[in-house]
Copies of this chain bind each other. A is one copy, B any other.
Amino acid sequence: MALLVQKFGGTSVGTIERIEAVADKVISYKDQGNSMVIVVSAMSGETNRLVELAQQIDPRARGRELDVLLTTGEQVTIALLAMALEKRGYPARSYTGGQVKITTDSAHNKARIKSIDHERITSDLDNGRIVVVAGFQGVDEYDNITTLGRGGSDTTGVALAAALKADECQIFTDVDGVYTTDPRVEPEARRLETITFEEMLEMASLGSKVLQIRAVEFAQKYEVPLRVLSSFGEGEGTLITTEYDADKTMEQALISGIAFNRDEAQLTINGVSDTPGVAYRILGPISEANIEVDMILQNVSADGTTDFTFTVHRNDFDTALASLESTAKELNARVVSGNNRIVKISIVGVGMRSHAGIASRMFEILAKEGINILMISTSEIKISVVVDEKYLELGVRALHEGFELTKLS
């Protein structure tokens, strides 16, 4: 008998029929003797409908009143799911973020959770009730309604699990777990039974968009076991934990998965003087233009000048290039160049920490396929390469096979 926090997203509760199916699924866990807390998003399409209403009044609608508007989306879902549970004879109670209460800071539209008072929920659980909580929302210290930013229901689930010291936080999605890579690119991709938080963070930020990064960070920080499962099918999903079990580590693969990102664009400025403050003068204007930078590379300088490269989302390429050309003039740089036909492929795994040779194995596999590497960047548990976009599928499949990800069970 465990205390489970389960989160169902907008697609999982997108129609009355699906809400009824979620009720059946929740009850199947309840009948096994578990205490159940359910976090739900707005029905799919509802948040967009509300945003469109707001934008008819003010195209730039934001702030306090937008939060008052958007939070009605989840409030509708909690009521309907609680009704569906009650109809099946299972006592249930719904709560908005403010009722729980989930206290956040006052940053409307992108608030962060500060604390959770779980007294009411605990009392309901003690009385055998199923508790249904609106995701994505809270109140600030003055009782103003806030939202955690779009898609923040995962964070609500993890935060509640942490506050309640739940045995597991289960995130139900439209995929049945985390895969070694995207099955649409490599049909041999395999579902992972477990993955570490660090690996998950690298996978998520690199394009395996199963979970929100913030929710994973939150779960890691508070050591909440997180599980990704399918809303519509059966199966155990993928468990995300702090570290692999000792037993499993023995036969653990060196890398867990292959992530990739199709939407990269690279910008390079050559021959800038290698003096303090140059990196700031290059990236400052980019940051001020609200352009997010992914990779940043600067190699050791030879002749007193250096080459500086960074990547941005492909949509931001033109803006970033214009900014960089302007900066280049100020810095008397030699050349500015860019390429928006590139992709990033990364191998991720805690196993590579203690094993030399992973990088060279990666480069060997790519070389055998004739894939030219444009950039290389590494972190403790990840190696990323940038290649021409035409090599994406070939590269991912070759690495998936070369690191024997398919064979592992």
Q: How far is the CB of A43 from chain B (nearest CB, A)?
A: 9
Chain A, 74-118, contact with B by CB distance < 8 Å: what is the 0/1 string?
011011101110110000111010110000000000000000000
Task: Select from chain B the residue with minimum beta-carbon distance to A87.
Answer: B58
List which A42-79 residues lie within 8 A (CB) of chain B: 50, 53-54, 56-58, 61, 64-66, 68-69, 71-72, 75-76, 78-79
CA distance A72 to B137 in the complex (A): 14
List chain B residues, Cβ under 8 A from A16: 53, 56-57
List chain B residues, Cβ under 8 A from A78: 68
Q: How far is the CB of A80 from chain B (nearest CB, A)?
A: 6
CA distance A72 to B49 in the complex (A): 14
Q: A16-B53, A50-B76, A72-B72 are in contact. Are A83 and B98 (CB under 8 A)?
A: no
Which of A69, A82, A84, A145 has its CB near the most chain B CB atoms (within 10 A)? Answer: A69
Asked if A69 and B76 make an inter-chain contact with CB atoms under 8 angstroms apart, the answer reads: yes
Asked if A20 and B75 make an inter-chain contact with CB atoms under 8 angstroms apart, the answer reads: no
Which residue of the partner chain, among B72, B80, B99, contacts A53 with CB atoms under 8 Å?
Answer: B80
Asked if A82 and B58 make an inter-chain contact with CB atoms under 8 angstroms apart, the answer reads: no
Task: Select from chain B the residue with minimum beta-carbon distance to A98.
Answer: B98
The size bracket of the interface on A is 35 or more
List chain B residues, Cβ under 8 A from A82: 64-65, 68
Asked if A75 and B69 make an inter-chain contact with CB atoms under 8 angstroms apart, the answer reads: yes
Which residue of the partner chain, among B54, B57, B84, contacts A20 with CB atoms under 8 Å?
Answer: B57
Q: A53-B16, A57-B16, A72-B72 are in contact. Are A65 and B87 (CB under 8 A)?
A: no
List chain B residues, Cβ under 8 A from A380: none
CA distance A265 to B244 in the complex (A): 78
List which A173-202 residues lie within 8 A (CB) of chain B: none
Asked if A87 and B143 make an inter-chain contact with CB atoms under 8 angstroms apart, the answer reads: no
CA distance A50 to B83 in the complex (A): 13
Q: A57-B20, A82-B65, A86-B65 are in contact. Are A75 and B75 (CB under 8 A)?
A: yes
CA distance A145 to B99 in the complex (A): 9
**A206 sits at the interface (CB 8 A):** no
**A169 sits at the interface (CB 8 A):** no
Which residue of the partner chain, among B19, B58, B99, B145, contacts A83 with CB atoms under 8 Å?
Answer: B58
Asked if A94 and B65 make an inter-chain contact with CB atoms under 8 angstroms apart, the answer reads: yes
List chain B residues, Cβ under 8 A from A54: 79-80, 83
Asked if A72 and B65 make an inter-chain contact with CB atoms under 8 angstroms apart, the answer reads: no
Task: Select from chain B the residue with minimum beta-carbon distance to A20.
Answer: B57
Asked if A84 and B98 make an inter-chain contact with CB atoms under 8 angstroms apart, the answer reads: no
List chain B residues, Cβ under 8 A from A87: 57-58
Asked if B68 and A79 make an inter-chain contact with CB atoms under 8 angstroms apart, the answer reads: yes
List chain B residues, Cβ under 8 A from A143: 99
A-B contact pairs, 17 of them (CB 8 A): A16-B53, A16-B56, A16-B57, A50-B76, A53-B76, A57-B83, A57-B84, A57-B87, A58-B83, A65-B86, A66-B83, A68-B79, A68-B94, A69-B76, A69-B79, A71-B75, A72-B72
Q: With A16-B57, A57-B84, A68-B96 given, can you name 11 additional A-B contacts, CB distance below 8 Å?
A: A50-B76, A53-B80, A58-B83, A64-B82, A64-B94, A65-B92, A69-B76, A69-B79, A75-B75, A98-B99, A99-B143
